[in-house]
Amino acid sequence: MGNDGGSIPTRRELVKNAARNPNTSELKATQVEAQTYAWTYCPLSNRPLAAPIVSDCAGTLYNKDAILEQLLPKDDVPASIIKEKEDVLQGRVKGLRDVVEVKFTVLKEGKDEKKICPITSKELGPSTKAVYLVPCGHAFSEVAIREVAGETCVECNEPYTTENIILILPIAKEDIAKLVARASKLKDAGLTHSLKKAPGSKKRKKNAEADSAVAGEKAVETNGKTSAEGWSERTKARLAENGPGTPQSRSGTSTPVSSGIKNAATASLTAKVLDEQEDRNKRRKLGLNDNLKSLFSNSGYSAQTHKGGDFMTRGFSLPRKS
pLDDT tens profile 55-83: 999 999 999 999 999 998 877 878 888 88
Angle, alpha carbons 109-113-114 (nearest 5°)? 100
Would you tell me how many other CB atoms lie within 10 Å of the CB of residue 289? 9
Give me Rg for the CA atoms of the chain.
39
Amino acid at 178: K
| Residue burial 23-52, b: 16+ Cβ < 10 Å; e: rest | eeeeeeeeeeeebeebbeebbbbeeebeee
Peptide bond into 135 cis (omega under 30): yes
Would you tell me how many other CB atoms lie within 10 Å of the CB of residue 257? 22
pLDDT of residue 112: 83
pLDDT of residue 247: 44
pLDDT of residue 16: 72
pLDDT of residue 183: 94
pLDDT of residue 48: 93
User: For residues 277 and 214, what is the distance between their CA atoms, to the nearest angstrom?
Assistant: 26
Q: Are 110 and 103 in contact (CB under 8 A)?
A: no
DSSP assigned state of 162: G
Please state the φ and ψ torsions of residue 63, each to the nearest 5 degrees.
Answer: -75, 135
Spell out where the chain has E strands.
53-55, 61-63, 100-102, 105-109, 112-116, 130-133, 139-141, 165-167, 221-222, 225-226
pLDDT of residue 228: 47
pLDDT of residue 286: 64
DSSP assigned state of 226: E
pLDDT of residue 245: 46
Strand-by-strand arrangement of the 61-63 sheet: 61-63, 53-55, 100-102
pLDDT of residue 191: 93
Cα Dmax for the chain = 159
pLDDT of residue 192: 93
CA dihedral 275, 276, 280, 285 (to 10 degrees): 0
Low-confidence residues in the chain, pLDDT < 50: 219-228, 230, 244-260
pTM more than 0.75: no
pLDDT of residue 253: 46
pLDDT of residue 169: 94
Find, among 156, 174, 155, 153, the residue nearest to 164 by Cα.
153
pLDDT of residue 10: 82
